A and B are shown apart, each in its own frame.
Chain A
Amino acid sequence: MTHAASAAAHHTSLGLDSRKMAFWAFIGSECLLFTSLISTYLVYKGKSVVGPYPHEILNIPFTSVSTFDLLMSSLMMVLALAAVQRGDMRWGKIWLFSTALLGLVFLGGQVIEFTEFVHKGLTLQTNLFGCTFFVLTGTHGAHVSVGVLWLLTLWVRALQGKLTQANAMTVEITGLYWHFVDVVWIVIFTVVYLIQ
């Protein structure tokens, strides 16, 4: 894998790693996915015919904390990549695990938030706010879950000694995904929570 990756990097027409380029294309595609979801949220904003309505139920302080948590996970990701790139696998492992852990904390926050909303009477079936809110944030949560699984996989590979400096590109691509998911959350947090 290492050999193939470095060979591929040397022979590409644009001098860019093929996997990295594919991932940028994937992120471009994902932008359209989230744009469609966020646009739908905006189009249906204020169109619910029954409550609960956003201002009655959204908990900005609580979500601010999980937003901060996710932002910090991006910092951990940067540190993880830096460590792997300089060959420091001890810190590489620590930062990879921290990134995944903060991702898990974010997901935990989402579980608490969703449970609370359901208790307050907001479900997927309640109104348009419920539909658009749960599907938008749920899709984002699914992306975070995939990211956590991915990071934990890298962490286990690192523990086994199979992830080394030579795989820095793999970690970099994971980071691209993780930062993208983080940026999407910033947009969702702004559009759904802050601008009511």
Chain B
Amino acid sequence: MKSWLTTTDHKRIGLLYFFTAFAFFLIGGIEALVIRAQLAQPNGHLVTAETYNQLFTMHGTTMVFLALMPLSASFFNYIVPLQIGARDVAFPRLNAFSYWVFLLGGLFLNASWLVGPLFHAGTLNVAPDGGWFGYANLTERQFSPGPNIDFWLLGLQILGISSLAAGFNFIVTILNLRAPGMRMMRVPAFTWMTLVTQFLVITAFPVITVGLAFLMFDRFFGAHFYVHEAGATPILWQHLFWLFGHPEVYILILPAMGIVSDVLPTFARKPLFGYTVVVYSGVLIGFMGWGVWSHHMFSVGLGPIADSVFSATTMLIAVPTGVKIFNWIATLWGGDIRGTTALHFAVGFIAMFIIGGLSGVTHASPPTDLQQTDTYYVVAHIHYVLFGGTIMGLFAGIYYWWPKMTGRLLSETLGKWHFWLQFVGMNLAFFPMHFIGLLGMPRRVYTYSPELGVSDLNLLSTIGAFLIALSIFVFLVNLLRTRTHGQRAGNDPWGGATLEWSIASPPPVYNFSVIPTVANRLPRWKTEHHEPMRDPPATPPAPIHVPGGSWWPMLAAFGLPILALAPLTHTLWLALVGAAVLLAGIYLWAFEPFEV
């Protein structure tokens, strides 16, 4: 127990990230199921409008910040050091700090479901209810007097610190801790996409930090950053939010693209087609992701010039994305394909992401976008991209790397059931939303009337959502069953080309008994140009120093939610306690003898 609480081992932190994020994924999923149950029939009355607002806000916020990002982070943690031939990340304790801040931030946000009575309100009354995008000036104290938005903005500030700390850590890890011979253009595609993602994190998160700080000053200290009467414009929030929010979309999708770029070659027994182009497309997406934010704001009326520019950049960013899709298809083409569950999910990712990408291009045109804004069409689009894309990609990664992480293979039979249920379920749930939206049903409204003519489509969508839930249940059964019945994986159950497959599953605490020397991009494969590398010996020839654990990152992390409680409860001494805990954690951490 203590060894898990104080761990600085990237593999353990990766597992902690996985289980925590998966728990939040289930919570976000339950929120989605309640939403779909409410919308199964017209004039539904399962929940009130107020509860519904909290449900869709927490569903979006949870899935983006507490499920998808940290599920990707679990692979950054577990897999990246293994892929580059490192013993750990560059700053193991900072890594532990990132995890604890994420856990505490997630608990802080979700506590809002339960603590209503402390704020003289019922349970299920004080959860955030302003949408995951929290548009000003609805979020001002005048229009949202309760603690709901406070939970949201303080929770997101805490989570931002976790992401930023991890961002610096992984940039340095990938650039600086590569094994000898592992040049940048030999780094596996997943690690490359991780690097691009972390650059997006460290540049995008400060912008939302400032936007949220303004909101904090407005709500707690009577400032007027988003108050129209004072001459301010609420559009400022939209700019700051989407300047962060659009890079965030790529923060969510690039890791999944990286996973798929590693899974496809393994199961097609072919090198990734156009590796260099895939890498450069990822980098280009990272850059261009900064130039498209106002396509979320066409309905604001920014004028023809801004609309035209952002329309053009949005269509342009589809080019590098399309390039990647063709590369993946070309990787499969003529390959010696093994239809594993991981490959099913990877191919499912490509197909679903193409649909999401196509509907995305339709938003790029301002006239059509104006028809689609705030309708279910947009909900269909983001779910094809984030569920069909990111979640499918992440599951490809889970089936691919679970044997590496636990030493046991997930059941392929249950895996196929999981895949097909999820694939059918998601298309049933999200495809009708295109029509529901175009027929005029607005999003974020808790019910609809039978005259709108979308009742059957909504019922279909709800059935699809419950099919997805069933598929996740199958996956959980698979996880549990694998603990005891899973087939032993050995070092390399798939015949992978990259370094993580050259060591035991799960890897020893020091990862590599001898740091490998890398001579090419596919070190473990025999190609016409080279022989496969020799795997490191099972036992280290010389003793390896492994850093011990530390309590202080966790102590420092605890300072943040205490600090956040101060404005929430209007208690000054809590701020002093929080600052003291944070400072104590940082100083003890800095002066602790710790050798990496």
Q: Would you call B225 an interface residue if the criterion is a C-beta within 8 Å of the partner chain's C-beta atoms?
A: yes
Contacts of A18 in B (CB 8 A): 90-91, 172, 176-177
> Across the interface, do A48 and B172 meet the contact criterion of CB distance under 8 Å?
no
Contacts of A4 in B (CB 8 A): 594-596
Within A140-195, which residues are at the interface with B (CB < 8 Å)? 153
* Cβ-closest chain A residue relative to B240: A36
Q: Would you call A111 an interface residue if the criterion is a C-beta within 8 Å of the partner chain's C-beta atoms?
A: no
Within B157-207, which residues are at the interface with A (CB < 8 Å)? 164, 167-169, 171-172, 175-178, 182, 202-207
Contacts of A125 in B (CB 8 A): 221-224
Q: Would you call B323 an interface residue if the criterion is a C-beta within 8 Å of the partner chain's C-beta atoms?
A: no
> Across the interface, do A30 and B206 meet the contact criterion of CB distance under 8 Å?
yes
Report Cα–Cα, A124/B221, bound state, in Å.
8
Stretch from B208-216, B391-399, B423-431, B506-514 contacting the other chain: B208-216
Q: Would you call B118 an interface residue if the criterion is a C-beta within 8 Å of the partner chain's C-beta atoms?
A: no
Within A1-22, which residues are at the interface with B (CB < 8 Å)? 1, 3-4, 8, 12-14, 16, 18, 21-22
Report Cα–Cα, A25/B175, bound state, in Å.
12
Within A38-61, which residues are at the interface with B (CB < 8 Å)? 40, 43-44, 47-49
Q: A25-B171, A131-B224, A135-B217 are in contact. Are A13 and B176 (CB under 8 A)?
A: yes
Contacts of B593 in A (CB 8 A): 1
Report Cα–Cα, A173/B236, bound state, in Å.
35
Contacts of A36 in B (CB 8 A): 206-207, 210-211, 240, 243
CB within 8 A of A25: which of B202, B211, B214, B231? B202
Contacts of B225 in A (CB 8 A): 40, 128, 131-132, 135
Q: Would you call A115 an interface residue if the criterion is a C-beta within 8 Å of the partner chain's C-beta atoms?
A: no
> Across the interface, do B223 and A124 meet the contact criterion of CB distance under 8 Å?
yes
A: interface residue count bin: 35 or more
Report Cα–Cα, A25/B94, bound state, in Å.
14
Report Cα–Cα, A4/B92, bound state, in Å.
13
Contacts of B138 in A (CB 8 A): none
Q: Would you call A118 an interface residue if the criterion is a C-beta within 8 Å of the partner chain's C-beta atoms?
A: no
Report Cα–Cα, A153/B587, bound state, in Å.
10
Contacts of B177 in A (CB 8 A): 12-13, 18
Q: A3-B595, A18-B172, A29-B202 are in contact. Are A135 and B214 (CB under 8 A)?
A: yes
> Across the interface, do B231 and A21 meet the contact criterion of CB distance under 8 Å?
no
Within B245-260, which residues are at the interface with A (CB < 8 Å)? none
Contacts of B168 in A (CB 8 A): 22, 25-26, 29
> Across the interface, do B169 and A128 meet the contact criterion of CB distance under 8 Å?
no
Q: Would you call A127 an interface residue if the criterion is a C-beta within 8 Å of the partner chain's C-beta atoms?
A: yes
Looking at A13, A21, A26, A33, the one whose CB has the most chain B CB atoms below 10 A away is A13
Within B504-553, which residues are at the interface with A (CB < 8 Å)? none
Report Cα–Cα, A124/B182, bound state, in Å.
53
> Across the interface, do B176 and A21 meet the contact criterion of CB distance under 8 Å?
yes
* Cβ-closest chain B residue relative to A11: B177
* Cβ-closest chain A residue relative to B596: A4
> Across the interface, do A40 and B210 meet the contact criterion of CB distance under 8 Å?
yes
> Across the interface, do A22 and B91 meet the contact criterion of CB distance under 8 Å?
yes
Least Cβ distance of A134 to chain B in Å?
8
Contacts of B211 in A (CB 8 A): 36
CB within 8 A of B175: which of A21, A28, A37, A49? A21
Contacts of B240 in A (CB 8 A): 36, 40
Contacts of A128 in B (CB 8 A): 224-225, 230-232
Report Cα–Cα, A135/B211, bound state, in Å.
12
B interface residues (Cβ-Cβ under 8 A, vs A): 90-91, 164, 167-169, 171-172, 175-178, 182, 202-207, 209-211, 213-214, 217, 221-225, 229-232, 236, 240, 243, 587, 593-596
Q: A13-B176, A127-B224 are in contact. List 20 more A-B contacts (CB 8 A).
A: A1-B594, A12-B176, A18-B172, A18-B177, A25-B171, A25-B172, A26-B202, A29-B205, A32-B203, A33-B206, A40-B225, A43-B236, A49-B229, A125-B224, A127-B230, A131-B217, A131-B225, A135-B214, A135-B223, A135-B225
The 27 listed contacts between A and B (C-beta, < 8 Å) are A12-B176, A13-B175, A14-B176, A18-B172, A18-B176, A21-B172, A21-B175, A22-B168, A25-B168, A29-B203, A32-B203, A33-B206, A33-B210, A36-B243, A40-B210, A43-B236, A44-B232, A48-B231, A49-B231, A124-B223, A125-B221, A128-B224, A128-B225, A131-B224, A131-B232, A135-B214, A139-B213
4 A-B pairs with least C-beta separation? A33-B206, A36-B210, A32-B206, A12-B176
